[in-house]
Structure 1
Amino acid sequence: MSTKTSRLRRTVVSTFSVLALSAAGAGAATAESASAPTGSGWSTGCGIGSAPVDGQHTVSSGGRARTYELHLPAGYRTWRAWPVVIAYHGRGNTGAGTQAFSGLDNLPAIVVYPNGVIGTGDGERQAWEGAPYSAPGVDDVAFTGDLLDSLESDLCVDTRRVYATGKSNGAGFTGILACELSDRITAIAPVSGAFYPTGRPCNPSRRVPVIDFHGTADTTIPYAGDADRGLPAIRDWVGAWADRDGCRTRPHETRVAYDVARYDWHGCRSGSDVAHVAVVGGGHTWPGEDSYSGGGYATHSIEAHDVMWTFLRGQRLPRH
């Protein structure tokens, strides 16, 4: 089917769906979708009568068939634009594995768990762009753009509220997205992030809100950094984002629990909040894990998905 024919079909289906919903007494909600102003965040998938179901789906990117797990929130309907959370797994894990331990399915958002491409060395495990063991020639930034195009075409997406999180290598990749896809990624929430140097400049087109989680006793990605692997100290990495976002120099510290400290940078420009959550004695783990997420201590004093959502949900891309 040609692109022109596909768009015409989508327009016809969307119009028919709007009329059917109106006849069923849902006209007010449908009218809100149909009359949403340019730049409001409503995607082309709004008003379509059917939607993909939960489970694994495929999208073409860079000549490859790329897979992802999709979870729709309870009460998903196509006359409301929903925020999106993209969760990138750690090295050697999968989208389904991250879905199992993260608790992200509990959020009132469309949650997507993409799968990386098998990288190089040490068991040939799935990985993401930017790490020294990632698959050569794979453009995961472009894949993320293609994934968003597909989601926005098939689902009712609030394009101003697209958030990225991830674990370890996947968390490190969210840092790349913040640098290189800030026109589509609203904010990021890396967990136990592996922030390898890429040699590419970080020049986001806008100030990007960041909330970072890391265990102080993480032996896989050390909190104090690892010069031999080019990994920065975590507080330095977050501080660099505070500088980019024009925040005040010193963060405000709050003791959230006996094993959790939080640091918030205030006075950031354009509402681009920056925060860091340190799990005291925490390992290479996801706070509040529902199942095994990595080696070392995992706190249950907080749930990472709840804390990050409180931070992320109010962040929006500027209107165009």
Structure 2
Amino acid sequence: MNKSILRVAPMVLSTALCTTAFAYTVQGTVTSKADGKAIADASVSLLQKGKSAKTDQDGKFTIHEDEQDTTSTGIHNQQAVGFVNLSQGVLHYSQSSGPVQVKVFDLMGNLVSSKTLYGTGSVDLRQGINAKGTYFAKVHVGSATQNIKFTTDGNASAYSTSKTKSALLKAGDTDKLQVIADGYDTLNVTLNNLDTTLALSLEKSIPPEPTYKFGYALKNTPTPSKGCGTNTTLKTDKKVENGEHHVVNVNGTNREYFITLPTNYDNTKQYKLLIALHCYGSSAEDFVHHTPDYDHPTPYYGQQVLDKNGDYIFASLQAVGGLWNKGQEDHDFFGKALTTIEDNYCIDTSRVFITGFSYGAMFSYSLAQDYQDRVRAAATYAVADYNIWLPQEKGMDKNLPIAWMNVHGVNDDRCTFDKAKNSALPRMLKKNGKASDGDSQFTDASSEILQENQGSTGHLCYDFKNVDERFPIKFCTWPGGHQWTAHDTGNMSVGWNWESTWVPEEVHKFFEQF
């Protein structure tokens, strides 16, 4: 039988204990929690022992430490105040200055027995162990710990100590296993037993969301408005089909608008907001509910019917006299209505969208030059940048980009296609080029040439390549006139009806990329 001897002298042990360890083998497999596949080249480390290994192609690793012979560590100092030794399964001890504490653990780290011994004597470690197996005895003498590994079949006559001598550890020594792999969260596991086989799985890391001086990352985390988590104090003066009518005072003038909430509105869910702006000859209420026709196929330019999951709140604003010709007052109306909605309902303020046709497109385009910090994207149908108040003409150009989509008939004789192509489009492209610093210094992309539909049927939507990906520009052309419900059979040709328009689907996809 091997003997394990411990003599305790505090000053001598304080040096020896820092570098010794008992035998152990930590092994296991590292896999991805997402798909169960093995993770190769992961770093697996015992933090206190300073031992590490790399996983192989099968995700397997092994960390092994041979036991050291404590008889060579210089602990047999003749001035030691006590000692322990193990012989034939019996622990012999002598300690004059304090107790000898003995704890026996099974391989799972469960405490099997605990004894506190005084003076000089002996104790059979097998006492109280009825189950066959391998056990560890942790013997504390003063400030040192002796770990002894032994096996038994539950019979005192069948006993063996570890074939190698156990070594000294600091009192209270524990260890943590740490696993690090590229693309995964770091895993830390506390080990009560270093002779163990582990099955470890790692979570894929979610990279931190990039932030910018201006604008948001694509697919950014929603930004909740003031109205999230609160009940609205906004009172409607009348309900209409599919919505509520509201009035807000702007510079002494009462301005009208409508709100449509999703079914089962939840004030803890951040909703996207789409604001529709009507054309000349129509009204805000027409885009809330209207007998279907080619200008009003379904509410809110066909967008509400596409909101299958109830992710949007919709609103529609009314122009004074049906014309968006009040300049700054119209802009102030938009801003105040937007603030009121955000203060009273739970809005994702990073996903506010505007859309409009003809005069509504002009006003949307004007807002897109002014509200880039509050509106994520605009979709216009038959845009024009004349006969409308534009901030840059008043020295108020913020020179900031905004995501923009326009649908235009090449035969439009009211908001002419050439004017949209050669004036409105370059103005947008000039602000939306890829950021030279990756953040807020946007370049001029106006040199890129629009690819347009050349036939008598069909349509072509061109996504500009030289713009910043956070501020895309899409321009769709079709062989029609002044009409927003574009279709692929030519301008009002036989067999056409408003249900055949491809525009709502294209606009919905454009908004949903954010």
Distance of 2:486 and 2:410 partners within structure 1: 16
**1:84 corresponds to:** 273
Comparing 298-307 and 138-147, the one that deviates more: 298-307
Match of 1:242 among 421, 429, 433: 429
Mapped contact 2:464–2:473 kept (Cα < 8 A): yes
Which of 295, 314, 317 is residue 114 of structure 1 equivalent to?
A: 317
For 1:23-78, what per-residue CA distance to the aligned partner results, in whole angstroms no more than 9, with x for missing partners? xxxxxxxxxxxxxxxx9520111112458672211122121111112112234311
Structure 2 CA distance, aligned partners of 1:71 and 1:183? 24
Tell me which amino acid in the other structure corresponds to 2:414.
T
Greater fraction helix: 1
**Aligned-CA RMSD value:** 3.0
CA gap 1:51/1:216 in 2 versus in 1, 3 angstroms:
farther
Which secondary structure does the structure 1 equivalent of 2:417 belong to?
Answer: coil
C-alpha distance in structure 2 between counterparts of 1:239 and 1:82, whole Å? 32
User: Which residue is equivalent to 1:41?
Assistant: 223
Shift of 1:202: 6.8
**Judging changes above 3 Å, is the alpha-carbon distance between structure 1 residues 167 and 67 closer, same or farther for their aligned structure 2 residues?**
same
Alignment of 1:203-242 (within 5 A): 203-204=397-398, 206-224=400-418, 232-234=419-421, 236-242=423-429
Answer 1 or 2: which has greater strand percent: 2
Shift of 1:139: 1.0
Give 3-state SS (helix, strand or coil) of 1:80's partner.
coil
Q: Which moved more, 1:98-107 or 1:82-91?
A: 98-107
- Structure 2 residue runs of 5 or longer lacking an equivalent are 1-220, 291-295, 434-444
SS of aligned partner of 1:218: coil
Larger deviation: 163-172 or 205-214?
A: 205-214
Hey, what's the Cα distance between the residues in 1 that align with 2:465 and 2:455?
18
Distance (whole Å) between structure 2 residues aligned to residue 252 and residue 221 of structure 1: 19
Residue 250 (structure 1) shift: 3.1
1:127 equivalent in structure 2: 323
Match of residue 139 from structure 1: 329
Moved more, 209-218 or 232-241: 232-241
Contact 2:260 2:313 in 1 (8 A): yes
Letter of the aligned partner of 2:432 in structure 1?
A: D
Question: What is the match of residue 470 of structure 2?
Answer: 271
The CA deviation at 1:274 is 0.4
Closer, same or farther in 2 for the Cα pair 1:274/1:265, shift >3 Å? Answer: same
TM-aligned CA deviation for residue 236 of structure 1 = 3.9
**Structure 1 residues not aligned, in runs of 5+:** 1-38, 119-125, 129-133, 225-231, 290-294, 316-320
Distance 2:463 2:396 in 1: 22
Instruction: Report the equivalent of 2:43.
Output: none
CA 1:117–1:222 in structure 2 vs 1: closer, same or farther (change >3 Å)? same
Report the counterpart of residue 60 of structure 1 in structure 2.
249
> What does residue range 1-320 of structure 1 map to in structure 2 within 5 Å?
40-49=222-231, 54-99=243-288, 100=290, 101=296, 102-106=301-305, 107=307, 108-118=311-321, 126-128=322-324, 134-135=325-326, 139-196=329-386, 198=389, 199-201=393-395, 203-204=397-398, 206-224=400-418, 232-234=419-421, 236-246=423-433, 247=445, 249-251=448-450, 258-269=457-468, 271-280=470-479, 282-287=480-485, 301-315=500-514
In the aligned structure 2, how far is the partner of 1:244 from the partner of 1:151?
29
Q: Count the aligned residue pairs.
A: 251
Aligned residue type for 1:181: Y
Q: Matched residue of 1:180: which SS?
A: coil
Compare relative contact order (CA 8 Å, sep 6+) and give the higher one, 1 or 2: 1
Q: Distance in 2 between matches of 1:196 and 1:217?
A: 18
Which letter maps to 1:114? L
Q: Return the alpha-carbon distance in structure 1 between the equivalents of residues 354 and 409 of structure 2.
A: 20
1:243–1:249: 8 Å Cα contact kept in structure 2? no
* Aligned mates of 2:454, 2:499 — CA distance in 1: 15
Residues 200-246 of structure 1: CA distance to partner in whole angstroms, max 9, x if unpaired? 3573353111100111222222223xxxxxxx243542233122211
Given that 2:459 and 2:477 are in contact with CA atoms closer than 8 Å, whether structure 1 keeps it comes out as yes
Deviation at 1:96, TM superposition (A): 1.7
Deviation at 1:256, TM superposition (A): 12
Structure 1 residues 155 and 288: alpha-carbon distance in aligned structure 2, compared to 1, 3 A threshold:
farther
When residues 300 and 252 of structure 1 are mapped into structure 2, their CA distance, relative to the original with a 3 A threshold, is: farther
Q: TM-score when scaled to structure 1?
A: 0.69
* 2-structure distance, mates of 1:144, 1:286: 22
Change (3 A) 1:196 1:234: same
Residues in 1 aligned to 2:222 and 2:460: alpha-carbon distance in whole angstroms: 36
SS of the aligned residue for 1:206 comes to: coil
> Equivalent pairs: percent with the same residue?
24
Q: Distance in 2 between matches of 1:182 and 1:43?
A: 17
Q: Post-superposition shift, 1:188?
A: 0.7
Rg larger for? 2
| CA–CA distance in structure 2, aligned partners of residues 255 and 308 of structure 1 | 22
Moved more, 258-267 or 171-180: 258-267
Shift of 1:260: 1.2
